[in-house]
Structure 1
Amino acid sequence: MLWACIYLPHLAMDGILRRRPTEGPLVLVDGPVNARTIVSANETARAAGLHVGQRLSAAQALLSQFDAIPYDRESVERWHRFLAAVAYRYSSEVSLLPHAIVLEVSKSMGLFGPWPRLESMLRTDFTELGFRHRMAAAPTAHAAHVLTTVSDGQAVLSVEALCHALQRVPIAKSRLPANAIAALPGMGIRTVGQVLALPRDGLRRRFGAELLASLDRLTGDLPSGLELYRPPDTFDLRIELLHEVENQSALIFPVRRMVDDLAAYLAGRDGGVQRFLLRLEHREGRYTDVPVGLLASERDGAMLFEFARGRLEHVVLPAPVLALRLIARDLPAFIPAGRDLFDERPASALPIGQLRERLRARLGDRTVYRLGSTTDPRPERAQVVADSGAGYDEPSPRPTWLLAHPIPLRGPSPRILAGPERLETGWWDGAEACRDYYVIETSLGQRAWAFCQPGEQSGWMLQGWFA
């Protein structure tokens, strides 16, 4: 087995910075109101002398102007699980560790390639999402977790190499039980290699079975004991804006970020989205909903953003917006569209599905739609506008373009191409119909669908046109 660990040392700060980009000093604080302590600081704040563990009062005495934001544990947990869903794209065995994500990748390398290529793909995904990270690979999940604290980019691909790599790991970075980390340096033991060389009976008497179990999980003599993560079946993301927004254009950047997060989540689930909701939150619990519905499942971030922006442009804000929320509950399977091996379309040409959705976003749902069928065989009642996702099986040789009401066909007699198709129905509602339908060609060369009375070929009534 081979486990990859993605260590996220700045998870809380990165979650803030990706929605609040700033060049000024910024810190996260936690603790009682009268004894707030800095738990994270951005580079500008650290350069000014602020550091983790410093009292807020001492930081304010050192630096007069900086932003202090309360540390939000729930938000950090949401980002942790969101990134686990992103990593799920590369492995079905994903687990959460403190400030880290581990995933089993030995089976994934058959699909994504050797570890250096897979590592590059993981780094690209996390970097584009705005989360700083360190990464390592090892035969056990806990060893990979430990190696990320020592250096970035270590790849230990065999059990023999793992034993050698663990020899040099300092006790302070070993993630062994806290009582062992505190006591072992006083005994002259400063590396994991030295601990592994000690008699196990003595370690058990001094520190209990917990230390031995931790060592065995490091080396692989015990299973990892980790609970596997499964991404939820819904996507729900909320961000608070820095100030009240009264102009739609100011919503474009946060909406783009949220839609990109949705696309990353969908890639992790190997699924798509068919409809989602943008909720614009105002004061006093009021909100404006902007539904985005697609005719087919999609997951491309740029495409989803364009549809969301097109819907947003038609919204008149009734009040300033304080927060945004994106909710996606309809997450069907995603099946990529087929492409010809020798595709002769221009490079700038859009697939028909993307063109259709772009037109719907710009022009409205009622402008571009899909037809659905009814149980009524009468042509003027056989078609309805289908809900998103519903298909229409065209009953050949009937045309797709049916007129709302039949009209007389003027001019010379048409040429019959196919038919007749006898239709005799409607007796149950007083609108009985008895007709013979034909596929015809008019004197102008148009292909049409028309009918006349049974047994006759005159008095033609036009019912629809073929493309």
Structure 2
Amino acid sequence: MLWLALYLPRLPLEVFPSLPSPKAIVSRERVVVADRAASSAGVMPGLRLSEAWAFLPTLAVQQRDCEREQLALTRLAYWAGGFTSEICCLPPQTLLLEVAASLRLFGGVTALFERIVSGCAEQGFAPQAALAPTPRAAQWLALAGDNEPCLDSAELPLRLGRLPLAALDFSPQKQARLGSFGARLLADVLCLPRAGLARRLGPAFVADLARALGDFPDPRARFVFPERFVERLELPMRTDNAIALGFAGRRLVASLCGWLAARAEGVSECRFEFVHERSTKQRSATVLALAFSTATRDPERISRVLIERLQRLELPAAVDAIRLRAEAPEALPGRTRSLFGEHGEGAGGDSVAALVERLQARLGSGSVHVLAVVAEHRPENASRRVAPALLAGEKIATKLFADSRVLLEEPAPRPLWLLARPQALRETVGRPQCGGSLRLLAGPERIESGWWDAAEPDALGDVRRDYFVAISIRQEWLWIFRCRAGWFLHGVFA
């Protein structure tokens, strides 16, 4: 096993992005954490609030909110689901990921480690990360800020031995007792007899040392991904610019896609809710629903549709928070990659689906459609407009289809372009004319049907036509028919 620990020392501060700098989080009248501007002025953790204000009168303070921190840690766990489903939440400020099974998928230890750390920073957190074969060793390395990966259990005594005791999460009583033994580094503790340590500090302390070194098993409760995704993100500052919401929206999309990846699911629709500031009369949130041609968990694909929709969105008031909901996930099985490495948005059906979604986002859902075949002989009634969908699982031969389609065998040729109304043609010596005399290539094909709607308003009614394929003097292939009223042009072949 290989564990990656993400320790978030500034999480109490990061959950209040709108607090102005210099700022600090306090609990029981003492500073918990301060930003760089406050720290440079002498405001340090553990300082009394009155002393902190004496150092920096302009210091903005906020009481610590453990509930907010837990929600932020949960959102980060959703995002981490894109790398592994084996996740442990250790409130208040630590996340553990078991990543041994993910190394090959993400290009090895170094690539995976860098990708997780950079992605965590993109989510708005400043982590101290560490890799180790045991979860407790990873925690301690992260607490001490040692980010050099430790991949071999045999290296643990040396790597852990270098850690100062003051940097670890031992209680003040244990810290004082170990200090009385003359121990300053963990190596000093590891050199002491285990039986004596158990008598003086308790068997639990010795068991923790053994678990860190891999001598004892260290089972951890796994994070359980909920059935529905509902996450809220507070903005650093209010904005009435819809396009500016795209950056914050991407963070929520990344968390959504991690949640979906851990559950092996995708979404065909999700909903953004833009929460307006309370001082405005506009109390209800502005809702933006996103729909996709096929179920997806690709963050780039979802973000592209979001940006397209935001460009056309008008906000009635300033927004100070965003909420994302996905309440109907769908099973999304894995796909086999091509022998020649074709994958992603540029291959097969994914690119077609992405194009359809962008067109719908830009032009409106009602402006993008496909033609569904209907069991009807009259050409005007043989198709209808329906919402597009995509045959899942196909690659280069992917086809758009209609949800309520009927497949018919059509032995006779049909043109791609039908005129809205048949155009009357002149007739000379019994031959149809269209910019000159037409030469008949195929036909006739008799179409005779429609008596059942002859009495209905705006219906086509009963028709009796003989269709031909003809070619003009300009080499145009035309679809024409003859009826009692004469010759008519009805379609053009591509």
When normalised by structure 2's length, the TM-score is 0.73
Please tell me whether residue 63 in structure 1 is matched to residue 63 in structure 2: no
Q: Counterpart of 2:286 in 1: which secondary structure?
A: strand
The verdict on how the C-alpha distance between 1:289 and 1:378 changes in structure 2, with shifts beyond 3 A counting, is farther
Match of 1:101 among 84, 95, 102: 95
The verdict on how the C-alpha distance between 1:428 and 1:310 changes in structure 2, with shifts beyond 3 A counting, is same
What's the offset of the Cα at 1:162?
A: 0.9
Please tell me whether residue 161 in structure 1 is matched to residue 155 in structure 2: yes
Corresponding residue of 1:125: 119
State the superposition RMSD in angstroms: 4.3
Distance 2:225 2:475 in 1: 57
Please tell me whether residue 254 in structure 1 is matched to residue 238 in structure 2: no
What's the offset of the Cα at 1:452?
A: 7.8
Distance 2:114 2:24 in 1: 30
Distance 2:357 2:118 in 1: 29
What's the offset of the Cα at 1:65?
A: 1.9
Q: Counterpart of 1:357 in 2: which secondary structure?
A: helix
Match of 2:26 among 12, 29, 43: 29
Please tell me whether residue 286 in structure 1 is matched to residue 284 in structure 2: yes
When normalised by structure 1's length, the TM-score is 0.77
1:139-158 to 2 correspondences below 5 Å: 139-158=133-152
Q: Counterpart of 1:185 in 2: which secondary structure?
A: helix
Q: Counterpart of 1:252 in 2: which secondary structure?
A: coil
Larger radius of gyration: 2
Match of 1:312 among 306, 310, 314: 310
Distance 2:415 2:14 in 1: 53
Contact 1:372 1:386 in 2 (8 A): no
Contact 1:374 1:384 in 2 (8 A): no
1:220-259 to 2 correspondences below 5 Å: 220-241=214-235, 245=239, 247=240, 249=241, 251-259=242-250
Contact 2:75 2:231 in 1 (8 A): no
Moved more, 101-110 or 334-343: 334-343
Distance 1:119 1:147 in 2: 14
Moved more, 389-398 or 82-91: 389-398
1:32-43 to 2 correspondences below 5 Å: 36-43=29-36
What's the offset of the Cα at 1:261?
A: 3.4
AA at the equivalent of 1:167: G
Q: Point out where structure 1 has 5 or more consecutive residues left out of the alignment.
A: none
Distance 1:38 1:297 in 2: 47
AA at the equivalent of 1:369: H
What's the offset of the Cα at 1:43?
A: 0.3
Number of equivalences: 448
The verdict on how the C-alpha distance between 1:179 and 1:340 changes in structure 2, with shifts beyond 3 A counting, is same
Q: Point out where structure 2 has 5 or more consecutive residues left out of the alignment.
A: 391-399, 426-431
Corresponding residue of 1:6: 6
The verdict on how the C-alpha distance between 1:185 and 1:59 changes in structure 2, with shifts beyond 3 A counting, is closer
Q: Counterpart of 1:5 in 2: which secondary structure?
A: strand
Deviations 1:308-330 (A, max 9, x none): 34323434434444433232335
What's the offset of the Cα at 1:365?
A: 1.7
1:65-464 to 2 correspondences below 5 Å: 65-98=58-91, 99-175=93-169, 180-241=174-235, 245=239, 247=240, 249=241, 251-263=242-254, 265-266=256-257, 269-270=260-261, 272-282=266-276, 283=280, 285-297=283-295, 301=299, 304-332=302-330, 333=332, 351-372=351-372, 380=381, 382-386=383-387, 391-392=401-402, 395=408, 397=410, 407=422, 410=425, 411-412=432-433, 415=440, 440=469, 443=472, 462=490
Contact 1:94 1:102 in 2 (8 A): yes
Q: Counterpart of 1:107 in 2: which secondary structure?
A: helix
Contact 1:177 1:214 in 2 (8 A): no
Contact 1:260 1:301 in 2 (8 A): no
